[in-house]
Amino acid sequence: MNNLFNYIERKSPIHELTGATKLVCLFLWSFAAMTTYDTRLLVVLAVLGIALFPVGRIRLKDVSFMLWFTLVFLVLNTVLVYVFSPHHGTEIYGTCTYLFGLSGHFAPTAEQFFFQLNYILKYFATIPFVLLFVCTTNPSEFAASLNKIGVSYSVSYSVALALRYIPDIQKQYHEISQASQARGVELSKKASLISRLKSASAILVPLILSSMSRIEIISNAMELRCFGKNKKRTWYMAQKFKVLDYVSMIVCALLLVASLVLTHINGSRFFNPFK
Amino acid sequence: MNDVIVEFKDLGFQYRAQAKPTLYNNNLTVKKGEKILIAGPSGCGKSTMASLINGLIPFSYKGEITGSLLIKGKESRDMSMFDISHIVGTVLQDSDAQFVGMTVAEDLAFALENDCVEQGQMKNKVQEVAKILNLDQVLRHAPSELSGGQKQRVSVGGVMASDVSLFLFDEPLANLDPKTGKSAIELIDELQKRTGAAVIIIEHRLEDVLHRPVDRIVLMNGGRIVSDTTPDELLASAKLAECGVREPLYLTALKYAGVEIRPEMHPASLHDLVLSRQDEEKIRSFFIKNQKGKRALPEGNLLSVKNLSFTYEKTEKQTLKDISVDIGKGEMVAIVGTNGAGKSTFSKVVCGMEKESAGEISFAGKDFSDYSIKERAEHVGYVMQNPNQMISKVMIFDEVAFGLRLRGVPEDEVKERVEKALEICGLYKMRNWPISALSYGQKKRVTICSILVLEPEMMILDEPTAGQDYRNYTRIMEFLKELNDRGITIVMITHDMHLMLEYADRSIVFNDGRIIADKTCAEVLTDTEIVDRASLKETSLYHLAGKCGIEDAAGFVQSFIDYERENVRK
Amino acid sequence: MKKILSVKTIVAIGIGAALFFVLGRFVAIPSPVPNTNISIQYGLLAFIAAVFGPIAGALAGLIGHFFIDFSYGWGVWWSWVIASAVFGCIMGFVTLKLKIDEGEFDVKGIILFNIGQIVAHLLAWVVVAPVLDILMYQEPANKVFLQGITGAIINIITTAIVGTLVCLAYSKAIPKKGSLSEEN
Ligand SMILES: Nc1ncnc2c1ncn2[C@@H]1O[C@H](COP(=O)(O)OP(=O)(O)OP(=O)(O)O)[C@@H](O)[C@H]1O
Ligand SMILES: Nc1ncnc2c1ncn2[C@@H]1O[C@H](COP(=O)(O)OP(=O)(O)OP(=O)(O)O)[C@@H](O)[C@H]1O
Ligand SMILES: [Mg+2]
Ligand SMILES: [Mg+2]
């Protein structure tokens, strides 16, 4: 199970923070990175995020696979933005500085490059932190943390159930697809879109129908053990806040404040070196 | 000691979707400290009865209740599900579904969490329960990292953590290997002694439950309680056979030998069974009369597997290690072994559902490795262990017809073949029902049926008789035998030692990913080292032979089977 | 506050999210436009919403989509996560009248279901997702609207096929009151 979200069990200060703290920090951090386009703050966030990796004792090797995925996604998106809006930067920064003496619709401008640099930086400001969160947070504790930061326990438990049953459903999907191939359903990769959808439904229908009976059995099993009896419930995996927890949350809150203040000072979400 | 926990008064029940009631006017009392076994053919309403006791009816399943059901003197309709849950602890048949926590510890704590028990106290309680059930080594494991027997323990632990006065087990032994099944029964027994609670066990494997004494057996048939008496009384009567429930094998043997069974003989336990001189003499003469020669082994390999190894993705341990085995055309073989030994995995690799990491598989001389799942399936039909994985249609008829239709068989022939197969599997009367309205055993039969109808050259059946009553067991196995006589090769994976002895020519024993024995079934069961390593168990016929001073126990079992074949199954 | 969510709904949210995740993460078929997959998980979500209502639809979409983004590790693309939740929610409201779990899903039901899903998809992908993209990430408008429209069209087609099929199958699997009797 723990493999799915790449949780890596090690001893480190970050591992020892409670899940609730990390979740709050994740929200504050992503919000800070989301609101601002200020290059300076983005650089700070990116550097800080990467610097936390050794603290959490996570090596590049541990996340290389996810990193690759992200990079491909990033390159694609950057290209797309350029193709669709080569003048987005010009519009934002209000000036137009053609580079290399070229001009025309697709001609490169300094503003566009700067915008896209920020765009890329924005990824680097959030991704390392999210990766770190993924690697250092025990999924079992995740649900308890949600409840702790104010999400109702029913919804928190839905999250726990989803985490619990993802591997099971994955395995079942695999098995059903094998069983239907054994009965003669064709799942070839070369088939047309419509026939691929059709064979996908041949697996999907049994998968969903059996999930419906699973829902019934699980809710019976839960009710038989008094789930939903009280307005509150306790959590086996819950942890108490320590000093470091408060410190981390304050630091992240400050980052968000910095982001908001900068937006106010700049007069917009962008830091404009062209004025 | 006399407080009544559950009392039925003329209790009946009709599911919303059913045209007729499932239970009729039943009366039953369960007192504190009692241990009761509920038996009866598949579909007779045992699980429905359990749902009434634990409150799933009416809180989760809709339908009409008649009569009254008192739990600790209170009408259950006026109680809430939570009130009932504090009195009745249920261990469902599906121990996978009952496991709602992400790890063992969390699942053990689940009921405590819901009762708002404070964390420190909860941790102590979990430790305590884990120690009793021998789970303290695996507290941090996820369900996928546990064996079938361990999961069973976790589900027991989950209800043990809150102190209930009645434990309800629905088919606790299904899918457990013989030795694990035996320890499950011992566990239940200890549990009852420790807590003094009442226990109700629903089970088809009567003989295995009777490994430890029970106070009463409640026998059901067609929605009615037909008998409610001590095991000794019931076993001395002919009621079990009338209802199509298998009685302990040693009693069948006694009957075949002409011994009359009376309650005073203590027929409930082979250990306490009292046999007179004459009785023993009768058994010995039965043995001599019925000794027969062995069947010759067929020649020519159909499936040939060489040095096969396999490891599941993302796991470190090899699941199959260097397996070599040949299966001849027209053979009927059994694969047996511990839970988690790799039996199901082996079948999946043979059918192409998983790709071997090393080794060769050839079928009828052709190399199988380039064949897709679909192509292999035209030669080898595989009935999976869990019926839910195989079912892909909504209605029973369509499900069985699915494979034929995909193969382009004309519709009138489809109808004819499907109806014949449904008849064999005892499902013909329900052919137009949706599969969702079936009991577990009935679903399993649908999947067997849907492969039977295709008549492949070789069939692999994973636990074909788990959860089946004796009547359906016989019907399915006899049909497989008939197919086998027509030259179809049959491989059965089973935990039922008598099934293996009765139907298989040979048995292949798996242990921890290796084949540790490949010989005749009788030889396997007389080799104590193999029996022990693979968690097998001799059937009670061996012990009966011992009790009567017959040295050739294997020969005795064989003559029992031959006798049955010639005089009973026709 | 009590009993807004029954235990069954809570479980349905969890299992629905898990299914959504598995389908979206492992079964996605790449489409011609980058970053948009042909995702059959919306057929499932529409079904969950139709059977268990708007809250279940919204939360199953939210949690499931969150996990998908999360497991890729590229950060959570909130605008699209929220759009998934919006789709589930609207779908749940539109289909409140349907009684699929009592075995009723006739031609009228199919029409209602499909009109509902078209409206819900359009709102989610052509309105909510791009607007949030622009507000939160300052992405160029024409890029996000193109992505949104392609996404909407593909999702509408897959939901029409997959969602309708699943609803039909499920309603057939539920026997009508008093309809089961043994026949010879
Ligand atoms: N939810 C349901 N809706 C309609 N009919 C049902 C439902 N559950 C069970 N039945 C019917 O009630 C009858 C009794 O089912 P039940 O599950 O109690 O059998 P059982 O004795 O436990 O059988 P098994 O040994 O195979 O588990 C069956 O014929 C089944 O078709
Ligand atoms: N999909 C899977 N991924 C990883 N490990 C698996 C998978 N399926 C089974 N295993 C592991 O492989 C081992 C062999 O499992 P298998 O199901 O073949 O056992 P079995 O002999 O059929 O047992 P049983 O009698 O309980 O059915 C077990 O330890 C099991 O945990
Ligand atoms: Mg049952
Ligand atoms: Mg198995």
CATH code of B233's domain: 3.40.50.300
The tokens 């929220």 sit on which residue? C82
For testing contact with chain C, the best of A30, A204, A217, A233 (most C CBs within 10 A): A204
When pLDDT is averaged across residues B527-555 and rounded to a whole number, the result is: 87
| pLDDT at residue A116 is higher than 90 | no
- Residue range A70-100, pLDDT digits in tens: 788 788 878 888 887 787 888 878 888 787 7
Instruction: Mark yes or no for CB contact C178/B17 under 8 Å.
Output: yes
Could you tell me if B255 and B201 lie in one domain?
no
B440 CA to centre of ligand 1 in angstroms: 8
User: Touching check for C184 and chain A: CB below 8 Å?
Assistant: no
CA B489 to chain centre: 23
Give the separation between CA B318 and CA B303, rounded to whole angstroms: 23
Give the separation between CA B466 and CA B449, rounded to whole angstroms: 15
The closest CB to that of B430, out of C173, C178, C182, belongs to C182
The pLDDT assigned to B200 comes to 95
Comparing CA positions, the residue from B131, B69, B72 lying closest to residue B104 is B131
Instruction: Mark yes or no for CB contact B436/C173 under 8 Å.
Output: yes
Residues 21..80 of B with a Cβ closer than 8 Å to A: which?
54-56, 59-60
Could you tell me if B551 and B518 lie in one domain?
no
The closest CB to that of B394, out of C169, C177, C182, belongs to C169
For testing contact with chain C, the best of A5, A158, A223, A263 (most C CBs within 10 A): A158
Give the separation between CA A98 and CA B492, rounded to whole angstroms: 77
Q: Half-sphere exposure of A155 toward its Cβ, with a 13 Å CA cutoff? A: 20
| pLDDT at residue A233 is higher than 90 | no
For testing contact with chain C, the best of A70, A154, A208 (most C CBs within 10 A): A208
Instruction: Give the helix, strand, coil percentages of chain A, each rounded to 5.
Output: 70, 0, 30
CA A218 to chain centre: 28
The pLDDT assigned to B489 comes to 92
B336 CA to centre of ligand 4 in angstroms: 10
| pLDDT at residue C1 is higher than 50 | no
Give the separation between CA B56 and CA B90, rounded to whole angstroms: 10
The pLDDT assigned to A1 comes to 37
The pLDDT assigned to B458 comes to 92
Instruction: Mark yes or no for CB contact B85/A234 under 8 Å.
Output: no
- Residue range A13-60, pLDDT digits in tens: 888 888 888 888 888 888 888 778 888 888 888 898 888 888 888 887
- Containing structural domain, residue B58: 4-239
Q: Distance (Å) from the C-alpha of residue C182 to the closest C-alpha of chain A?
A: 23
The closest CB to that of C184, out of B16, B394, B429, belongs to B429
Give the separation between CA B484 and CA B211, rounded to whole angstroms: 34
B172 CA to centre of ligand 1 in angstroms: 17
The pLDDT assigned to B425 comes to 83
Contacts of B476 (CB under 8 A, 6+ apart): B424, B425, B445, B448, B464, B465, B468
Could you tell me if B490 and B500 lie in one domain?
yes
Ligand number nearest CA of B314 is 2
* DSSP string across chain C: -TTSS-HHHHHHHHHHHHHHHHHHHHS-EE-SSTT-EE-THHHHHHHHHHHH-HHHHHHHHHHHHHHHHHHHTS---HHHHHHHHHHHHHHHHHTTT--GGGT---HHHHHHHHHHHHHHHIIIIIIIHHHHHHHHH---HHHHHHHHHHHHHHHHHHIIIIIHHHHHHHHHHSPPTT-B----
Could you tell me if B217 and B144 lie in one domain?
yes
Which residue of chain A comes nearest to C51, CA vs CA?
A212
Q: Looking at beta carbons, which residues of chain C come within 8 Å of B431? A: 183
The pLDDT assigned to B25 comes to 92
Cβ-contact B11, B218 below 8 angstroms: no
Instruction: Mark yes or no for CB contact C181/B16 under 8 Å.
Output: no
The pLDDT assigned to B12 comes to 93
Share above pLDDT 90 across residues of chain A, in percent, rounded to a whole number: 2
The pLDDT assigned to B1 comes to 45
Instruction: Mark yes or no for CB contact B102/A139 under 8 Å.
Output: yes
Q: Distance (Å) from the C-alpha of residue A28 to the closest C-alpha of chain C?
A: 13
Instruction: Mark yes or no for CB contact C179/B436 under 8 Å.
Output: no
Query: Which protein residue's CA is at the shortest distance from atom 31 of ligand 1?
Result: B438
pTM over 0.80: yes
Average pLDDT for chain B: 87
Give the separation between CA A226 and CA A238, rounded to whole angstroms: 20
Instruction: Mark yes or no for CB contact A182/B374 under 8 Å.
Output: yes
User: Touching check for C100 and chain A: CB below 8 Å?
Assistant: no
Could you tell me if B282 and B408 lie in one domain?
no
The total of structural domains in chain B comes to: 3
Contacts of C113 (CB under 8 A, 6+ apart): C46, C50, C95, C98, C105, C163, C164, C167
Tell me the count of A-C CB pairs closer than 8 A: 177
Could you tell me if B159 and B260 lie in one domain?
no
When pLDDT is averaged across residues B486-510 and rounded to a whole number, the result is: 90
Instruction: Mark yes or no for CB contact C138/A92 under 8 Å.
Output: yes
For testing contact with chain A, the best of C1, C8, C9, C22 (most A CBs within 10 A): C22
**Which residues of B lie inside 8 Å of C (Cβ-Cβ)?**
15-20, 394-395, 429-437
The closest CB to that of C181, out of B19, B394, B395, belongs to B19
| pLDDT at residue B172 is higher than 60 | yes
When pLDDT is averaged across residues A144-160 and rounded to a whole number, the result is: 86
- Residue range C18-58, pLDDT digits in tens: 999 988 877 756 555 555 566 788 999 999 999 999 999 99
Could you tell me if B64 and B191 lie in one domain?
yes
| pLDDT at residue A103 is higher than 80 | no
Return the H-helix or E-strand segment holding B228.
strand B224-229
User: Touching check for A117 and chain C: CB below 8 Å?
Assistant: no
The closest CB to that of B144, out of A167, A179, A232, belongs to A167
- Residue range B260-282, pLDDT digits in tens: 889 888 998 888 888 888 888 88
Local confidence band at B307 (pLDDT 50, 70, 90 cut-offs) = very high
The tokens 């399943």 sit on which residue? B61
Could you tell me if B69 and B46 lie in one domain?
yes
Residues 55..84 of C with a Cβ closer than 8 Å to A: which?
59, 63-64, 67, 70-76, 78
| pLDDT at residue B68 is higher than 50 | yes
Instruction: Mark yes or no for CB contact B17/C175 under 8 Å.
Output: yes
Helix (H, G, I), strand (E, B) or coil at B170: strand
The pLDDT assigned to A192 comes to 64
- Residue range C139-156, pLDDT digits in tens: 777 888 888 888 888 889
Q: Distance (Å) from the C-alpha of residue C9 to the closest C-alpha of chain B?
A: 13
The pLDDT assigned to B401 comes to 92
Which residue of chain A comes nearest to B390, CA vs CA?
A179
The pLDDT assigned to C62 comes to 92
Instruction: Mark yes or no for CB contact C180/B437 under 8 Å.
Output: yes
Instruction: Mark yes or no for CB contact C137/A122 under 8 Å.
Output: yes
Helix C7-26, helix A193-224: angle, nearest 10? 150
Q: Among B192, B215, B239, which residue terminates a domain? A: B239
Q: Looking at beta carbons, which residues of chain A come within 8 Å of C137? A: 34, 122
Could you tell me if B511 and B461 lie in one domain?
yes
- Residue range B207-234, pLDDT digits in tens: 899 999 999 999 999 999 999 999 999 9
Instruction: Mark yes or no for CB contact B18/C183 under 8 Å.
Output: no
| pLDDT at residue A124 is higher than 80 | yes
Could you tell me if B221 and B260 lie in one domain?
no
Query: Which protein residue's CA is at the shortest distance from atom 3 of ligand 2?
Result: B312
Share above pLDDT 70 across residues of chain B, in percent, rounded to a whole number: 97
Q: Distance (Å) from the C-alpha of residue B119 to the closest C-alpha of chain A?
A: 6
DSSP 8-state secondary structure symbol assigned to residue B549: T
The pLDDT assigned to B214 comes to 93
| pLDDT at residue B549 is higher than 60 | yes
Ligand number nearest CA of B466 is 1
| pLDDT at residue B146 is higher than 90 | no
Could you tell me if B476 and B508 lie in one domain?
yes
Cβ-contact C53, C100 below 8 angstroms: no
Comparing CA positions, the residue from C176, B352, B461, B395 lying closest to residue A206 is B395
Both ends of chain C: CA-CA distance in Å?
A: 52
For testing contact with chain A, the best of B79, B86, B95, B114 (most A CBs within 10 A): B114
| pLDDT at residue B418 is higher than 90 | yes
Q: Distance (Å) from the C-alpha of residue C21 to the closest C-alpha of chain A?
A: 8
When pLDDT is averaged across residues A115-137 and rounded to a whole number, the result is: 83
Average pLDDT for chain A: 82
Contacts of A60 (CB under 8 A, 6+ apart): A53, A67
Could you tell me if B160 and B54 lie in one domain?
yes
The pLDDT assigned to A196 comes to 67
Which residue of chain B comes nearest to A179, CA vs CA?
B390
Counting Cβ atoms within 10 Å, is residue B101 exposed (0-12), middle (13-18) or buried (19+)?
buried
- Residues near ligand 2 (Cβ within 6 A): A 171; B 148, 177, 312, 315, 319, 337, 339-345, 385
Comparing CA positions, the residue from B152, B49, B163, B73 lying closest to residue B111 is B163
Cα torsion B501, B502, B507, B510: sign: negative
Instruction: Mark yes or no for CB contact C47/A214 under 8 Å.
Output: no
B92 CA to centre of ligand 1 in angstroms: 14
The pLDDT assigned to B26 comes to 92
Share above pLDDT 70 across residues of chain C, in percent, rounded to a whole number: 88
Local confidence band at C87 (pLDDT 50, 70, 90 cut-offs) = very high
Which residue of chain A comes nearest to C55, CA vs CA?
A155
Query: Which protein residue's CA is at the shortest distance from atom 19 of ligand 2?
Result: B340
B344 CA to centre of ligand 2 in angstroms: 7
